[in-house]
């Protein structure tokens, strides 16, 4: 019970060899102050904390050994009495090579911590994972989650305000009283928050949890072998679960992989609803036999291009395509500018942005979209995007 008596788990010879450029897991506490009925952590009697200096020493050790990502396993990191001290310590290390990830309870996170991180943390150093699970009030109560949605959404918007903290949000399909209509609403509300990543998981009836003991109450049918995933319940049919599974696959391909940028996000947000988009493109994806495994970026862009079926609407998405690469990619299509115009554009860009002309010719792509020419210049595993207004090119 006294965590200060535990030896470090990071110093075994095998682990030392495999820390560099990998994900390392670390704890500053064990247990959880909340009692969500589907979670094994709800069975813990209390929250226990590792000594602050021990945690700091472990962070230093992992950074020294070259860990790429350091994930805290704390079920609710902001329940730790040392939350602010640890954030302050990590920022003070001025280490920009590692990324730190924390599971946060969003509606109880102190806004002063958000403001401090927004003002002091370098972009990309901190990553928050926030489990929303459902926005259905009755559903949350039935699984012993007391979530203030208004405060939660306000905090999420504050977190995103400066673009400093990367945000990963979680949903769970299959909770009590969340039928397909309710789940669509949950999905659409949460996707509208524009998280960098949205994980759509499915309820698992873990041994020992309250929800498993209440399985008959809500008509759950689930696999008796690990991972004990649900097949259906009184509110979601097997067909509903299959539909949500398809949405989840498309969400991973067309959002979570990071292949697309703001132009695709804008298209999705203008669609009937985000859920409808992922479902519709999922049906299209299956019908046209696009690959679910081993796909390349080109496969994904071709799928959304064919799905949209309108070159004018798709045109801005080409920008996302070219920005996705760090080295000069293949042309998206056969569109070609006249050599005289291309020479003129490169000459203009070379003068305006002080880039040697021969490097532009060798390492650039140009596309024309409406009133602008877009030049994508690839150098040293980076891409620079320059916009030239057609009216300026006389």
pLDDT in tens, 78-108: 988 899 999 999 999 987 789 999 999 999 9
Strands (E), the chain: 23-26, 29-30, 48-49, 69-72, 99-104, 126-133, 166-173, 197-202, 221-222, 230-232, 364-369, 372-379, 382-389
Residue 215 lies in a domain: no
- The pTM assigned to this predicted structure is 0.92
> What 8-state DSSP symbol labels residue 252?
I
Report the 10 Å Cβ neighbour count for 49. Answer: 19
- Statement: residue 20 has pLDDT above 90: no
Which whole number is the average pLDDT over 151-174? 96
Q: What percent of the chain has pLDDT over 90?
A: 81
- Classify 44 as helix, strand or coil: coil
Which whole number is the average pLDDT over 118-142? 96
Q: Are residues 307 and 255 in the same domain?
A: yes
Q: Are residues 31 and 149 in the same domain?
A: yes
Residue where the block lists tokens 């996000």: 265
Q: Are residues 164 and 16 in the same domain?
A: yes
Q: Are residues 153 and 8 in the same domain?
A: yes
Band (pLDDT 50/70/90 cuts) for residue 229 is very high
Q: Are residues 110 and 33 in the same domain?
A: yes
Band (pLDDT 50/70/90 cuts) for residue 392 is confident
| Domain boundary pick from 116, 147, 168 | 168
pLDDT at residue 275, as a whole number: 98
Q: Are residues 283 and 343 in the same domain?
A: no
How many separate domains does the chain show?
Answer: 3
Q: Are strands 126-133 and 99-104 parallel, antiparallel or unpaired?
A: parallel
pLDDT at residue 97, as a whole number: 83
> Which stretch, 13-17, 171-175, 338-342, has highest mean pLDDT?
171-175
Tokens of 287: 């019908």
Q: Are residues 125 and 247 in the same domain?
A: no
**Torsions phi, psi of 333, nearest 5?**
-140, -170
- Statement: residue 9 has pLDDT above 90: no
Higher pLDDT, 49 or 97: 49
pLDDT at residue 394, as a whole number: 66
Distinct helix (H) and strand (E) counts, the chain: 16, 13
Is the bond leading into 227 cis (omega within 30 degrees of zero)?
yes
Q: Are residues 275 and 336 in the same domain?
A: no
| Domain boundary pick from 298, 324, 350 | 324
The mean of the pLDDT values for the chain is: 93
- Statement: residue 144 has pLDDT above 70: yes
Cα separation, 258 vs 203, whole angstroms? 25
- Statement: residue 128 has pLDDT above 90: yes
Domain membership of residue 300 as a residue range:
243-324
| Exposure of 50 in the CB half-sphere (CA atoms within 13 A) | 22
The shares of helix, strand and coil residues in the chain, as percent rounded to the nearest 5, are 45, 20, 35
| Domain boundary pick from 295, 324, 353 | 324
Higher pLDDT, 17 or 257: 257
């Amino acid at each position: 019970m006294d965590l200060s008596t535990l030896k470090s788990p990071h110093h075994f010879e095998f682990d030392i060899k495999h820390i560099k450029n990998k994900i390392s897991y670390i704890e500053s506490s064990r247990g959880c102050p909340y009692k969500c009925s589907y979670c094994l952590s709800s069975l813990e009697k209390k929250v226990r904390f590792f000594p602050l200096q021990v945690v700091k020493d472990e962070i230093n050790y992992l950074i020294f050994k070259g860990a790429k990502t350091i994930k805290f396993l704390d079920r609710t990191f902001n329940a730790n009495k040392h939350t602010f001290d640890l954030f302050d310590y990590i920022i003070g290390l001025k280490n920009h090579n590692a990324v730190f990830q924390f599971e946060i309870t969003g509606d109880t996170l102190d806004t002063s911590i958000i403001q401090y991180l927004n003002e002091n943390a370098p972009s990309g150093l901190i990553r928050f994972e926030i489990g929303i699970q459902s926005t259905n009030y009755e559903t949350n109560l039935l699984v012993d989650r007391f979530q203030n949605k208004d405060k939660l959404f306000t905090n999420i918007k504050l977190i995103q305000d400066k673009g400093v903290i990367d945000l990963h949000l979680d949903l769970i399909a299959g909770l009590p009283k969340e039928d397909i209509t309710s789940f669509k609403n949950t999905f659409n509300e949460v996707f509208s928050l524009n998280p960098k990543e949205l994980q759509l998981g499915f309820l698992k009836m873990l041994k020992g949890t309250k929800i498993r003991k209440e399985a008959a109450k809500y008509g759950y049918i689930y696999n008796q072998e690990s991972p004990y995933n649900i097949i259906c319940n009184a509110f979601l049919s097997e067909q509903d679960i299959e539909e949500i599974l398809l949405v989840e696959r498309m969400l991973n391909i067309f959002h979570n992989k990071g292949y697309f940028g703001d132009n695709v996000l804008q298209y999705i947000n203008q669609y009937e609803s985000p859920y409808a988009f992922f479902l519709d493109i999922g049906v299209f994806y299956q019908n046209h036999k696009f690959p679910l495994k081993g796909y390349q970026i080109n496969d994904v862009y071709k799928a959304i291009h064919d799905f949209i079926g309108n070159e004018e609407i798709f045109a801005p998405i080409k920008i996302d395509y070219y920005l996705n690469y760090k080295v000069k990619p293949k042309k998206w299509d056969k569109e070609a500018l006249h050599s005289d115009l291309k020479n003129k554009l490169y000459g203009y860009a070379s003068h305006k942005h002080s880039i040697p002309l021969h490097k532009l010719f060798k390492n650039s792509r140009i596309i024309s979209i409406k009133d602008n020419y877009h030049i994508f210049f690839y150098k040293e595993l980076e891409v620079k995007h320059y916009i030239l207004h057609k009216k300026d090119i006389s």
